[in-house]
Structure 1
Amino acid sequence: MPFTQLLRMDVLVFSNRQLVEFFGKSLSLICGALTWLREHKSKSIESQLKEDGEDDGAPDWVKQFARDEKKQNLLQEKADMEARLADIREKEKREKQLANSSSNLKIKRRYIAVWLTGEQKGEIEVEVDGNGDEAQFCLEDYESGDEDGGAQGSLGGDALSPAIFYCSRTHSQLTQFINELRRVKFPPSSPGGEGSALEEEVKHLSLGSRKNLCINPKVTKLGNPTAINERCLELQRSGASEASRCEFLPGRDDQVAVRDFRDHTLAKIRDIEDLASLGRKMGICPYYASRPTIKPSEIVTLPYPLLLQKSAREALDLSLKGHIVIVDEAHNLINAISSIYSITVSLAQLQRSKSQLDIYLARFKNRLKGKNKVYVMQTLRIIASLASYLEEISKKSKEGVIAPGDLLAMQGIDQVNFYKLQTYLNESKLARKVEGYIVHKQAKEQEKNKLPNKPGGAKALQPTASIPVLTHIQGFLLALTNPSAEGKLFHGKTEDKNDTCLRYMLLDPAHHFQEIVEEARAVILAGGTMEPMNDYTNHLFPYLPKEKIRTLSCGHVIPKENLTALPVTKGPGGREFEFTFEKRMQPAMIEELGRAIVNLCQVIPHGVVCFFPSYAYLEFVVSQWRKKPTPASNTAAKSLWERLEDRKTVFRESSDGSSVEEVLREYAQAIDSGKGGLLLSVVGGKMSEGINFNDNLGRGIIMVGLPFPNSNTAEWRAKLEHAEKAAGREFYENACMRAVNQSIGRAIRHREDYAVIALFDRRYSTDRIASKLPKWIQNGLVRGPVDKVFGEVMVITSRFFKTRDAL
């Protein structure tokens, strides 16, 4: 199907391992999209020139002359721009050559000095007037007539100037894509005729958050993204003196500098770090200065949150109207949307916020007037009510679902207009005022007493994080305004199990993605392993007619003989493998698993990566394998762990992810040494995404069981109920199999690569589960006697590698 036709669709769900022999997924996407973009622009210009003057009654030669003149002016304008960008590229090239000379040391020292100054990361900076007046913490008069706010303008292009918005999960993944973008050249968008040979570089922009692009060291030291955002807004508030405003923020008189930044940005393809460095070099904020660069850009790269969160798009004045949206790594999309719009607030946070508001009101209550007093008291009443409700319900049960009406009915807070309250909290900056006053009050007490804080005093109210706690609670209150059909409220324990909490979980991602789909010209979802795909059509696009959605799945570039996939249903002793939640802790089955892996490590050369359903299960299995065999009198017998270490050097992925790079480095060294390595990893962990076990790093992939989520939790019960009873099982299995497919897809990364994939669980031999594997793995799936006898697994695996060695 031609790419031009695909871009006329509303949504394209695009799953592949590699599209063609020489191009990977990223290059295939960008070559097709940018080629279409240039051709579309060229045809649009020609069409516009042809239409101009057709109905004005002038002679044909006059109309033709006008069209030629307009075309020439357009070509000259484009040529001038390309020449200007070429000059910038040449200048930067010379500067790079002279980087070690003294010509630029002065400005470099200046910025290095700025970056090395400042206090410890994570503290809240509170500016206090020289006379110590507390008036700075008092709220300004608030008029509710401004509550509805106003629509912000956009920087989107028109129908003749579409752009491509390329989105992925992280900036590191975007950087990989940008490196691919630097490799290719594209035809110019100029129409044919004179000037058509004009070289036109790709105009690219990396968008990021303030955390990625802020160059003010007083702000970046806060560390927390929300704290950085709020501090940035504080430094540009209206009425502030020049001394208290951010020195890097471009003002109305800085348009020349902004255009210069735009031209430097477009002159070459830069990633997010390059853009921040450019801002520091030019002394201008890249976060704000990059906004005017959106419109002339041909391709804009940005991480998930900036695209998927409506508030983030509005903050960037980002319009998608008429543009192409490409979402890469889209197997994460549904979970990413749910995560962005879900939020948890703990009892400790509610209690701390209430204490802070009490202290704030004790000082400023008599100075608050009108709407200020009304809204602050409403906020305090809501927080107190939520804390009281959580205390009571947590005594009755450990976790459960909460009806929104039950939560809001206490103390009459269901009468509060949450939309108006949200507007007030955003515009008044109440959270920052309260937090700032608490820090200020504590500092004055310390200075007065010349002593550390006493137990139970102001120290108990000191912020423990750089984000105001009320700001976090605001996000939770905003979630309460969502339609009840879209999500559910839960009570339970925090992740560290040390506190009780209220949790809002988004169940229906369709609404939040629908605005993107309806606004964009076309949406392309792309992923290396997106099967099973029916969740996207059923749960992400239920409102779209089937003809508006096209799915395209491409096979792998490897020949069929380079892959063997084996459902391993029994171990060497004939014990059946069924790693269900009820059976997986059985010592006999865990021992059988260890013996099977020992045997496979004998015939699989180099590196073997073994994936477990969870960190907890991996730890339990390892503890079982370390036990010495019985009887105890047989002191010479080795444990399964020792037998594994005899075969290969064994490595484990840690739950905190802190040693990933070190583990991978040592794993590769063990393989290079000739002994080989066995890497024990976890589905959904650091090793299961974004890391390639190509060539000798992954000659064997072992999947232990099916990593089904715990369906007995309140959250998963709600998810399954939301998916409806008929589709609940399908939804549950699909979530599991996408995780499996993503993990086993870490192997075989190019045409010459090869591997054996062993799937340990009898359920992999069933048609229902096997059909949810990617087609390229299904094509290499060996069925028959191998499902029943472990000896057949050994024979087929040994033969596979002997055949490879013979080639």
Structure 2
Amino acid sequence: MAPKDFHHPFQPYDIQQHFMEAMYDCIDRGEVGIFESPTGTGKSLSLICSSLTWLREHRRKVFDEALAAVTLDDDDPAWMAEHALDSRRREMRRMREDFEARLGAVRERESKLKERHALGVPLRKKRRVTPDDEPSPADEEQYILDDYDDSKDGKIPVNGQMSSYSTETTKLMTDLGMLQQKRDDNSLDFSEDLKVLFCSRTHSQLSQFVGELQRVSLPPGMPPEPEMNEEVSEPLKHLTLGSRKNLCINPKVSKLGSLTAINERCMELQQTNVAVEHRCPFLPRKANEQSVLDFRDHTLAKVRDIEEMAQVGTRLGVCPYYASRTVIESAEMVTLPYPLLLQKTAREALGISLRGHIVIIDEAHNLMNAIEGIYSTQISEVQLNLARESLLVYLQNFRNFLKGNNRVYVTQVVRVIDSLLLFVTRVLLTNTTGGTVEAEQLLSGKGVDQIDLAKLVRYISESKLARKVEGYASHVTQLQKIPTRNTKKTQSEHDVPTLTHIQTFLMTLMNPSKEGRFFWSREGDTCILRYMLLDPAVHFQDIVHEARAVILAGGTMSPMDDYRHQLFPYLPSLVTFSCGHLIPPSNLLIRTVASDQAGPLDFSYKFRSSAMIMRIGQALLDLAPMVQGGLVVFLPSYSSLELVASCWRKEALLALLEGTKQVFLDSRSEPAEATFKAYSQAVSTNCKGAILLSVIGGKLSEGINFSDNLGRCVVVVGLPFPNLETPEWKAKMQYLEDKARKRGEAAGVASREHAENVCMRAVNQAVGRVIRHKDDWAGIVLMDERYAQKRIREKLPGWIRESFPTESSSHLRGVTEDAKRFFEGKARS
């Protein structure tokens, strides 16, 4: 039986064919699957070809079923029945052909524009945005709060998330038909507009994926005409979605830099109290409705990345952030970053339905962390004090303007902040460094139990209180020329008003769930309050239940048990697929160093003595001269790297390593790009190569490509277990144990498994840095006796696990001999 044709742009390798067949079957059966395909094995094209082949075939099936549904009278002669079917067939084809013809005309126009541009002819006059496009209110009037009516219908946060749209935006988009109306699930067949939603972590990863999409050519979603001798291809209808920060084309707004500032400024320019001439000139409205439709056709005419989307909007003079909503319904594949898919309110704001669609999440090894990060939050004592001071200054100046609800709610905000600060003051008087806390303890201040937090959070959002208070505080500071208070803010804290952080934290206090916990910790002289989500399954379950099929994919998904227990505990079965590598077995050396002449090697925290550190250094000194090119050494943490470097420097071992190769050290304070660039240059210019000491889970362990000579050998020293003694980890472990006990499992197994899985997932990411394509080769050395344990080794990716020889020495002497033969063999080949 011939293998299924997935319309791969190249001749697929066997492992790619098996991957595509397994994924096609998973989608066809409507299941959830975890697919692992190492870097260099063509994962992106396998995901694209399998999902879109299924989609196009499904659309053909729907076409045939639609024809079969045509009702005919049994008494009609055969020629009339055939004529009726033929008319229906031609009608359906004509609708599709008209749509394709319109997109074809757009492609032709763009091609001619490109030719004109190449000849130096300007494409179009740019719309001029002058300073007059911005309102210029009097100095302090802009900070006055508008009258607030809390009896009006407003959006209450759901699951700790606020809706992205203001009332004005919602009305605008509804008028233009840009918000999808709620469908009657019982009466509508979703298969007709079925699509693939592809999600990854960053826009740069999505742009790379779009580049792969542009390679693919697929047969049409309708059967060809009987008279056609061969099938023609049908261009893919693709849309990439992003935030205002990526898609805003108004220079007066996009220059603000931060996502929060851009969002708020955009919505301010839509307020009814802003004069029409001052509103954003690119905003879709009835007057430029044709431009919105042109944007839709231009977007669908070819596969574009996020930057090209912004260029189309600029050329047509229409906002691509809002106009892209009109494209969703007609797209076959939608690419979007993690937050836009994982947050239910973000999906609702975009008008994205998952019902019946295919969801693919790439780079999914970090998915559980991403979900926990989205629904977790924190606030510091410094931020609380800063917010309180700013509010009091604001109240003092605008007390005569604050009336009715504004006065009530601003006073309530101060009261809630006072309650949080009261708790902070109490715990800082104790000798403890941190622990868990109940929501009731954080809200025990005077009169706080009478406050409706849901209404208060809605007020902070709708009144623009955070931006007005912080804006006025900055205004006062500039007038008085007061030096900015050193609050040691991160960049993100500078971008987001402090009251917005407090608003986000209050959302978790509104309805704290059993799936999360509150914590406090002492950091120097200050205190941090945190809410941490402990169970990502509760926020991912909607996606699983709504979608037809969900695919989690990544280069390193092993070990997979955590996904089964923490993301899909309610599913009776789960499809898992781990494909091998394209490299031949002779291109990989994989060994464990469990001991040396002094005994077992154990780099756990308990045994991390100076003597053990020197033995690890000596082992590297034995291995380093044999490695041709770059040698990358990963340690469990930055603190362990600093300890090792200090010890080796003191005992002159670092100088001995420098004698074999130039040594570079990763640093938490230095930019990773500079370190990697210097290391790369040393590898390329020095025949001896170079050594890079780095950290598992650090800046150089993910997303960095150590292909070819940059990584001829990777050594992992120790196992990067998390610190299980922190309050957060204790709470997580206790939560897992409680769930396991309800399932009737033995005590201690679930928490141990999770800790080992987190550890080994980080190890697998690190070792995956060195084999990056089918012709690459490298050695992998795991330096710790714990790697010899069967339970630990089984958590390695399949392609690495299978490469372990059945019989090999785990003593340093035997490993160095094997490494010498491996590298000498590669030097001769």
Does the TM-score normalized on the shorter chain lie above 0.5? yes
Query: In the superposition, relative to structure 1, how do residues 55 and 34 fare at CA in structure 2: closer, same or farther (>3 Å)?
Result: farther
Question: Which amino acid in 1 is paired with 2:515?
Answer: E
- Aligned counterpart, 1:160: 192
Match of 1:182 among 214, 229, 235: 214
- CA distance in 2 between counterparts of 1:417 and 1:738 reads 43
Match of 1:410 among 439, 445, 450: 445
- CA distance in 2 between counterparts of 1:454 and 1:13 reads 54
| Matched-pair contact (CA < 8 Å) for 1:560–1:779 | no
Question: Which amino acid in 2 is paired with 1:559?
Answer: P
- CA distance in 1 between counterparts of 2:254 and 2:474 reads 19
- Aligned counterpart, 1:314: 348
Question: Which amino acid in 2 is paired with 1:183?
Answer: R
Is 1:200 equivalent to 2:234 in the alignment?
Answer: yes
- CA distance in 1 between counterparts of 2:418 and 2:507 reads 17
| Matched-pair contact (CA < 8 Å) for 2:341–2:347 | yes
Match of 2:149 among 142, 147, 151: 142
Query: In the superposition, relative to structure 1, how do residues 140 and 640 fare at CA in structure 2: closer, same or farther (>3 Å)?
Result: same
SS for the counterpart of 2:360 is: strand
- CA distance in 1 between counterparts of 2:445 and 2:69 reads 66
Q: State how 1:694-773 maps to structure 2 within 5 Å.
A: 694-724=707-737, 725-773=748-796
Moved more, 366-375 or 86-95: 366-375
Give the drift of 1:661: 5.7
Match of 1:797 among 809, 819, 822: 819
Give the drift of 1:326: 0.2
Give the drift of 1:507: 0.8
Question: Which amino acid in 2 is paired with 1:410?
Answer: G
| Matched-pair contact (CA < 8 Å) for 2:683–2:709 | no
Moved more, 646-655 or 739-748: 646-655
- Aligned counterpart, 2:166: none
Question: Which amino acid in 1 is paired with 2:589?
Answer: T
- Which digits, 9 at most, give the CA deviation of each residue in 1:531-588, with x for residues without a partner? 1101001011112222xx21112222223232221111124x424321112222x111
- CA distance in 1 between counterparts of 2:500 and 2:438 reads 24
- CA distance in 1 between counterparts of 2:339 and 2:483 reads 42
Match of 1:588 among 611, 614, 619: 611
- Aligned counterpart, 2:496: 467
Give the drift of 1:360: 2.9
Question: Which amino acid in 2 is paired with 1:17?
Answer: P
- Aligned counterpart, 2:602: 578
Match of 1:675 among 668, 673, 688: 688
Query: In the superposition, relative to structure 1, how do residues 485 and 227 fare at CA in structure 2: closer, same or farther (>3 Å)?
Result: same
- Aligned counterpart, 1:649: 662
Question: Which amino acid in 1 is paired with 2:180?
Answer: S
- Aligned counterpart, 1:122: none
- Which digits, 9 at most, give the CA deviation of each residue in 1:56-96, with x for residues without a partner? 98665445433322322332232233233233223333333
Q: State how 1:525-540 maps to structure 2 within 5 Å.
A: 525-540=552-567
SS for the counterpart of 2:199 is: strand
Query: In the superposition, relative to structure 1, how do residues 62 and 350 fare at CA in structure 2: closer, same or farther (>3 Å)?
Result: farther
Query: In the superposition, relative to structure 1, how do residues 283 and 656 fare at CA in structure 2: closer, same or farther (>3 Å)?
Result: farther
| Matched-pair contact (CA < 8 Å) for 2:113–2:123 | no
Q: State how 1:600-619 maps to structure 2 within 5 Å.
A: 600-619=623-642
Match of 2:569 among 532, 536, 542: 542
Moved more, 249-258 or 325-334: 249-258
Query: In the superposition, relative to structure 1, how do residues 656 and 33 fare at CA in structure 2: closer, same or farther (>3 Å)?
Result: farther
Question: Which amino acid in 2 is paired with 1:189?
Answer: G
Is 1:6 equivalent to 2:26 in the alignment?
Answer: yes
- CA distance in 2 between counterparts of 1:738 and 1:422 reads 38
Provide the aligned C-alpha RMSD in A: 2.9
Q: State how 1:90-169 maps to structure 2 within 5 Å.
A: 90-99=108-117, 101-104=119-122, 107=125, 128-130=136-138, 134=141, 137-147=144-154, 153-154=179-180, 158-169=190-201
| Matched-pair contact (CA < 8 Å) for 2:356–2:547 | yes
- CA distance in 2 between counterparts of 1:654 and 1:59 reads 83
- Aligned counterpart, 1:563: 588
Match of 2:408 among 374, 379, 397: 374
- CA distance in 2 between counterparts of 1:222 and 1:178 reads 28
Question: Which amino acid in 2 is paired with 1:505?
Answer: M
| Matched-pair contact (CA < 8 Å) for 1:691–1:746 | yes
| Matched-pair contact (CA < 8 Å) for 1:206–1:301 | yes
- CA distance in 2 between counterparts of 1:455 and 1:217 reads 28
- Aligned counterpart, 2:469: 434
- CA distance in 2 between counterparts of 1:626 and 1:3 reads 51
Is 1:250 equivalent to 2:284 in the alignment?
Answer: yes
- Aligned counterpart, 2:455: 420
| Matched-pair contact (CA < 8 Å) for 1:566–1:783 | no
| Matched-pair contact (CA < 8 Å) for 1:671–1:677 | no
- Aligned counterpart, 1:636: none
Match of 1:66 among 84, 90, 93: 84
Give the drift of 1:54: 4.4
- CA distance in 1 between counterparts of 2:529 and 2:75 reads 71
With normalisation by structure 1, the TM-score equals 0.89
SS for the counterpart of 2:314 is: helix
Moved more, 747-756 or 263-272: 747-756
- CA distance in 2 between counterparts of 1:491 and 1:796 reads 51
Query: In the superposition, relative to structure 1, how do residues 180 and 657 fare at CA in structure 2: closer, same or farther (>3 Å)?
Result: farther
Is 1:299 equivalent to 2:325 in the alignment?
Answer: no
With normalisation by structure 2, the TM-score equals 0.86
| Matched-pair contact (CA < 8 Å) for 1:607–1:697 | yes
- Which digits, 9 at most, give the CA deviation of each residue in 1:427-447, with x for residues without a partner? 33222333344345556xx2x
SS for the counterpart of 1:688 is: coil
Give the drift of 1:616: 2.1
SS for the counterpart of 1:30 is: helix
Is 1:514 equivalent to 2:541 in the alignment?
Answer: yes
Is 1:43 equivalent to 2:61 in the alignment?
Answer: yes
| Matched-pair contact (CA < 8 Å) for 2:517–2:533 | yes
Give the drift of 1:752: 2.6
- Aligned counterpart, 1:491: 520
Give the drift of 1:666: 4.3
Structure 2: runs of 5 or more not aligned: 1-20, 158-162, 164-169, 171-178, 184-188, 738-747
Q: State how 1:262-411 maps to structure 2 within 5 Å.
A: 262-396=296-430, 397-411=432-446
Query: In the superposition, relative to structure 1, how do residues 64 and 433 fare at CA in structure 2: closer, same or farther (>3 Å)?
Result: farther
- CA distance in 1 between counterparts of 2:484 and 2:553 reads 56
- CA distance in 2 between counterparts of 1:650 and 1:149 reads 55
Question: Which amino acid in 2 is paired with 1:529?
Answer: T
Moved more, 220-229 or 297-306: 220-229
Moved more, 38-47 or 58-67: 58-67
Q: Percent identity?
A: 46
